[in-house]
Chain A
Amino acid sequence: MDPIQWLVFLIFGLPLIGFPLVIGVGYIKKNFSMYLGTALVFISFLIALYVFFTDTVKGTIITATLNWLPNLPVSIPVGIYADQLSMIMVLMVSFVGFLIILFSVGYMAEDPRRHIFFGEMVLFTASMLGLVLSSSLLMLFIFWELVGLCSYLLIGFWYYKPNAASAAKKAFIVTRVGDVFFIAGIGAAILYSGGNALSVSPTALSTIGTTWERTIVALLLFGGAIGKSAQFPLHVWIPDAMEGPTTVSALIHAATMVTAGVYLIARTYTIFTPAALTVVLSVGVFTIILSGLIGLVVNDIKRILAYSTISQIGYMVAALGLGLGATSIGLSIYQLESHAFFKALLFLSAGSILHALLNTRDINKMGGLWKKMPITMGAMLVGALALSGFPPFAGFFSKDSIISASYGHNTIAWILLVIGGFLTALYTFRLFFRIAFGNPRSHAAEHAHESKWIMLIPIIILAIFSTIFGVFQNGFYSFLGGATTSIGFIDAVPATVAVIGIGIAYYAYGRESTIPQRVAKGSGFLYRFVKNKFYLDTLFTNVVAERVVLGFSVIMGNFEKKILDGFINTWGEIFRDAGLTLRKLQTGIARQYALIILVGLVLSLLFIRILMFMGVIH
């Protein structure tokens, strides 16, 4: 391999090989693993920067391939595929990953198992980098599962909390449902292309024959993306996943892993036929509205952010569903990156607040933090403005471009996306005003204080990026081969709607008011419906898992024990009982034997005699 290929390999290979070491040095001194872990991810970021500016900007695609399973008629490739899309993702993952791990150095400083935490974070970052650099669908799936595994381990990091253990289980199983569709998708890709479409390059993917076959493969892969990117109906795991440490939520459940599904669609965009794209668009738009509504009624600070993540990923999915070719990819990935910055910022700010408030997560117990934690709250305001798409923050450029792009394409989608933007502004500023304004509503909130600098520095860097990222918009689009945009009249609509949303949020939540309670009471059934998350969690947990699966399990378990085993034992008993009965003939008394011989002899002679009468024998 060339040096440059080695370098690309090292981007994910270094943390992947280094993570056991990170845990290992923790047994010497726990703080060593924090420094080593941070350093490994930082070095990855530096290598990524170098590769990006020496080769990727020139349009070079760096590839290297090995045959993972020899002796098959076609090569089953594993290797690296670093084009513009991959490298942009790599830069984002390693940069945001580095900032969040840096933040963790302060956030997890007192945890007795922090060496394991950092080891798992490094493994996660390595797997995520490997995912975006994979050269084949199979390798992508391998890392896809590994990030899922890390997510499982990190959600359950505080395993002694029953909620955390349960949330980890839920996350694993729900994403597993999506993953099996991914497996089927790879199987379909192999079958319909004779094994050639394993590679992720567009030429290899286009060897899949007919439109119908492409649609099948695309929809199956999209099934995997739904699970990982938490789109309807498999979004139920993310809110529970907030039981993990906040930095985990920031890295895995906001910035990187949950966007893997979007990356997968963008990567295999060649095979998404119009039929498949319609499904993608519908799911994306539906998810935006659904999670936006739920976000309005949740009180847990991290869960509000989780629902907002679901809806923002919905925008990325919807952008891809518009079917504008490379422009769609540009729109979607740009939203992905700016979302990574401002959502990581929001989560880290939330982490800073939770750190100060001793893990009180109910926003009704906060309030008045504007004065006590000015830097954190200032950064949070930046994040909130960016999230609601307020110009000139990053979210305005990324999200409004998607909404505007849908205007000429699909008017219904445009209306729904605008409503989604309104909901986003509303729930975001509900969150912000409840935390920042008013009087402290709990003891912990009264004694809040600003966090350490090592936690504030990443927050400030992310705040800066969330503010200025919009500058790169058109350069970004053209870099990914898409069309550039300019701000027009139609862009004013989502921005105006966002301002209205912020205004309503202030009117209802920014001051003492009983409007929310009155609205809740007035809407009655509708409110309960939304408050219970559209009964989807109830459906999955109480009906599908507890009634159907466990019900069948009990039926089968009893069938196994009583009927099947009983049937087998009955055979044994028949033979045993036959033996027990017949052995009574063996009395050992000679007279009885003589009698039996005599009777037998008479009967046999009689039998022969009868046969002779009938003429059978002569």
Chain B
Amino acid sequence: MIFPFNLLLLLLTVYFIASVAIRKWAPRLITVLSSLTLLAFVVLNGMNRSFNYSTVYIISLSFQLNFVSSVLLILVSVIGIFISLRFKSSPGFHILTQSLIFSLTGLFLTRDFIIFYIFWEMVLIPSFFMIGMWGTKNKDYAAMKFFIYTHVGSVFMLLGIFTMYFQEGGGTFNMNFLIGGIGSLGITYQAFVLFGFLFAFLIKLPSVPFHSWLPDAYVESPSEGTVLISSLLSKMGAFGLLILFIPMYVNSSFSSSPVLPEVLLGLGIFSLIYSSLVALYQKDMKMMMSYASVGHMSFITIAVGGFLYLISTGSSNVLIEKLLFYGAVFQLISHGIIIAMIFALVDTTEKTTGTRIINSMGGIARKVPGLSFLLLLAFLASVAIPGFSGFVGEITILLGAYAVLKYYLIFVLIGVVLTASYHIFALQRSIFGPYNEYLGDIRTEKSELYATVFPLAIVFLLGIFPGLLFGFFNLGNLPFMGVVP
């Protein structure tokens, strides 16, 4: 069965207009509807379909639903449902969520660089307002920093797009055409294009040292905004790396030089260890989990680096390449759901105990066992304990990474141990130990806990049966990967 893409866009637009028109109770419900429509779109199209519409002047209206975008759209719809279940925010917020869902849908599907860039920038607008309108104390600073910092990256990407367009001279912004012809550019131009894209994606991912916008944006935005930004926006950079940067690099003249892949690997490892160490230092639970998010996303950098390294050295170890690539894709959805769950629970914890400072809690398992249990599970999922989906993503990347890194894998493993350490430290200080009597008599909002069971169930399901998604993965469907499938 086919669910046409133009119908999807039409429906999402109608939903959006309807929620703006009705306001009040409607946006929250309609967000669920949008998410379900999106899910139906992915499922009915079997996670793999191309949509080619006409070409408007130099812009080609060509869209592709592949397994990477499908996984990300599933994530978007899960988060959309979760946000509306969990947060009773103002209607305006849900309207912004819908516009975010719309932009991300376009972003993950398009095969045209100009449309890609438009959606890339469109995502910033709702996020900017989410932080700026509902944020906490330093919201203006955080919103501005977030907007400008990520925009700096986008500008370089735009320059890269124009460089490709004018140098290749095909009169089209079609991705397949521009990426395929990237090798025909002068070597300096190629380097500039690759740099521009990599810079934009690494900022968005984010990878150390381009992550400074993240802690402020996560901590200062309202909890629902943090959930959206952490679980969805960081995936844009990862999507770019996997779907655009890898093919561009493979088709460029640099494809047989392992320098850049080595840099990416080093950056990923550094990012993992650095973010873990900084997370260990944090006293604020939300701040700590922001750095945990950086740490988890650095696995994507490691996977992409390893994948390109294998291609650049000409070893045709398809098993390892697939482990790395599929692991990265799986890590995207699992990190997205887990981090959303964690920030939602941190929000509940803050409302319950009145603080986010880890040392100011203590032994809350005695008074709020339900919340503590969920927090424990969410943290364990983040540590990548088997049974949770985080394990599948992390272990596949680590297993593949051994083939690339060999003895240097020890640094990644140090990062893994450090990751476990700060999670366990935080658990020990916040929910275990003797009860901190200064907190008084605390209790939780039960409905908030029930809502968190929804992502938890998905995390369990994917952790135990990863084949549900892996069954659809096929590297052969992606163009220009440089891998014999």
- In the assembled complex, the Cα of A161 lies from the Cα of B428 at a distance in Å of 11
Interface string of A169-196 (1 = CB under 8 A from B): 1001100110011011011101100110
Given the known inter-chain contacts A173-B420, A183-B395, A549-B421, please indicate yes or no for A146 contacting B434, CB distance below 8 A: no
Of B145, B281, B399, B417, which contacts A173 at CB under 8 A?
A: B417
- In the assembled complex, the Cα of A592 lies from the Cα of B425 at a distance in Å of 65
Contact: A141 with B386, CB < 8 Å?
A: yes
- In the assembled complex, the Cα of A188 lies from the Cα of B401 at a distance in Å of 10
A71 interface residue per 8 A CB criterion: yes
**B473: chain A residues within 8 A (beta carbon):** 71
Of B323, B363, B424, which contacts A72 at CB under 8 A?
A: B323
Of B380, B392, B399, B418, which contacts A187 at CB under 8 A?
A: B399
Contact: A572 with B148, CB < 8 Å?
A: yes
A165 and chain B: residue at smallest CB distance: B432
Contact: B280 with A549, CB < 8 Å?
A: yes
- In the assembled complex, the Cα of A159 lies from the Cα of B429 at a distance in Å of 11
**B472: chain A residues within 8 A (beta carbon):** 71
Can you list 22 A-B contacts (CB < 8 A)?
A69-B470, A70-B470, A71-B326, A71-B470, A71-B472, A145-B386, A146-B387, A159-B363, A160-B365, A160-B433, A166-B428, A184-B409, A186-B399, A187-B401, A188-B402, A190-B402, A553-B280, A553-B281, A556-B274, A557-B278, A568-B145, A572-B145
**A138: chain B residues within 8 A (beta carbon):** 395
A488 interface residue per 8 A CB criterion: no
**B385: chain A residues within 8 A (beta carbon):** 145-146, 149
**A142: chain B residues within 8 A (beta carbon):** 386-387, 391
A274 interface residue per 8 A CB criterion: no
Contact: B434 with A162, CB < 8 Å?
A: yes
B425 and chain A: residue at smallest CB distance: A169
A67 interface residue per 8 A CB criterion: yes
A162 and chain B: residue at smallest CB distance: B433
Contact: B322 with A72, CB < 8 Å?
A: yes
**Contact residues, A313-342 vs B (CB, 8 A):** none
Given the known inter-chain contacts A68-B467, A145-B385, please indicate yes or no for A172 contacting B474, CB distance below 8 A: no
Given the known inter-chain contacts A556-B278, A557-B278, please indicate yes or no for A72 contacting B386, CB distance below 8 A: no
Of A68, A149, A156, A187, which contacts B409 at CB under 8 A?
A: A187
**A195: chain B residues within 8 A (beta carbon):** 319
Interface string of A128-152 (1 = CB under 8 A from B): 0000000000100111011001001
Which A-B residue pairs are the 5 nearest by beta carbons? A187-B402, A557-B281, A165-B432, A180-B413, A142-B386
A490 interface residue per 8 A CB criterion: no
- In the assembled complex, the Cα of A74 lies from the Cα of B428 at a distance in Å of 41
* Distance of A150 from chain B, by nearest CB (Å): 11
Besides A160-B363, A549-B277, 5 more A-B contacts (Cβ < 8 Å) are A71-B322, A161-B434, A190-B323, A195-B319, A550-B280
Given the known inter-chain contacts A72-B322, A184-B413, please indicate yes or no for A549 contacting B281, CB distance below 8 A: no
**B427: chain A residues within 8 A (beta carbon):** 169
- In the assembled complex, the Cα of A32 lies from the Cα of B58 at a distance in Å of 72
A565 interface residue per 8 A CB criterion: yes
- In the assembled complex, the Cα of A557 lies from the Cα of B274 at a distance in Å of 9
B336 interface residue per 8 A CB criterion: no
B64 interface residue per 8 A CB criterion: no
Interface string of B275-286 (1 = CB under 8 A from A): 001101110000
A168 interface residue per 8 A CB criterion: yes
Q: Which residues of B contact A (CB under 8 A)?
A: 145, 148-149, 209, 212, 274, 277-278, 280-282, 318-320, 322-323, 326, 363, 365-366, 380, 385-387, 391-392, 395-396, 398-403, 409-410, 413, 416-418, 420-421, 424-425, 427-428, 431-435, 466-467, 470-474
* Distance of A219 from chain B, by nearest CB (Å): 12
* Distance of A157 from chain B, by nearest CB (Å): 10
- Contact residues on A (Cβ < 8 Å of other chain), bracket: 35 or more
- In the assembled complex, the Cα of A69 lies from the Cα of B327 at a distance in Å of 10
**Contact residues, A557-589 vs B (CB, 8 A):** 557, 560, 564-565, 568, 572
Given the known inter-chain contacts A71-B471, A188-B402, A572-B145, please indicate yes or no for A159 contacting B433, CB distance below 8 A: yes
**A159: chain B residues within 8 A (beta carbon):** 363, 365, 431-433
* Distance of A376 from chain B, by nearest CB (Å): 32
Contact: A180 with B319, CB < 8 Å?
A: no
A73 interface residue per 8 A CB criterion: yes
Interface string of A50-87 (1 = CB under 8 A from B): 00000000000000000111111110000000000000
Contact: A183 with B413, CB < 8 Å?
A: yes
* Distance of A220 from chain B, by nearest CB (Å): 9
Q: Which residues of A contact B (CB under 8 A)?
A: 67-74, 138, 141-143, 145-146, 149, 152, 156, 159-162, 164-166, 168-169, 172-173, 176-177, 180-181, 183-184, 186-188, 190-191, 194-195, 549-550, 552-554, 556-557, 560, 564-565, 568, 572
* Distance of A40 from chain B, by nearest CB (Å): 19
Contact: A180 with B416, CB < 8 Å?
A: yes
Contact: B421 with A173, CB < 8 Å?
A: yes
- In the assembled complex, the Cα of A568 lies from the Cα of B152 at a distance in Å of 12
Contact: A553 with B416, CB < 8 Å?
A: no
Of B278, B466, B474, which contacts A69 at CB under 8 A?
A: B466
Given the known inter-chain contacts A71-B326, A572-B145, please indicate yes or no for A172 contacting B424, CB distance below 8 A: yes
**A143: chain B residues within 8 A (beta carbon):** 386
Contact: A69 with B396, CB < 8 Å?
A: yes
A555 and chain B: residue at smallest CB distance: B277
Contact: B434 with A68, CB < 8 Å?
A: no
Of A160, A177, A554, which contacts B366 at CB under 8 A?
A: A160
Contact: A184 with B278, CB < 8 Å?
A: no
**A184: chain B residues within 8 A (beta carbon):** 398, 402, 409-410, 413
* Distance of B408 from chain A, by nearest CB (Å): 11
- In the assembled complex, the Cα of A186 lies from the Cα of B413 at a distance in Å of 13
A180 and chain B: residue at smallest CB distance: B413
- In the assembled complex, the Cα of A498 lies from the Cα of B45 at a distance in Å of 74
* Distance of B218 from chain A, by nearest CB (Å): 14
* Distance of B155 from chain A, by nearest CB (Å): 14
Query: Which of A168, A180, A572 has the most chain B CB atoms closer than 10 A to its own CB?
Result: A180
- In the assembled complex, the Cα of A522 lies from the Cα of B413 at a distance in Å of 45
Of A73, A166, A552, which contacts B277 at CB under 8 A?
A: A552
Contact: A73 with B402, CB < 8 Å?
A: no
- In the assembled complex, the Cα of A31 lies from the Cα of B145 at a distance in Å of 57
Given the known inter-chain contacts A69-B396, A572-B148, please indicate yes or no for A553 contacting B277, CB distance below 8 A: yes
Of B319, B366, B403, which contacts A73 at CB under 8 A?
A: B319
Contact: B428 with A165, CB < 8 Å?
A: yes
Contact: B386 with A176, CB < 8 Å?
A: no
- In the assembled complex, the Cα of A79 lies from the Cα of B318 at a distance in Å of 24
* Distance of A41 from chain B, by nearest CB (Å): 20
Of A73, A156, A187, which contacts B432 at CB under 8 A?
A: A156
**A187: chain B residues within 8 A (beta carbon):** 398-403, 409
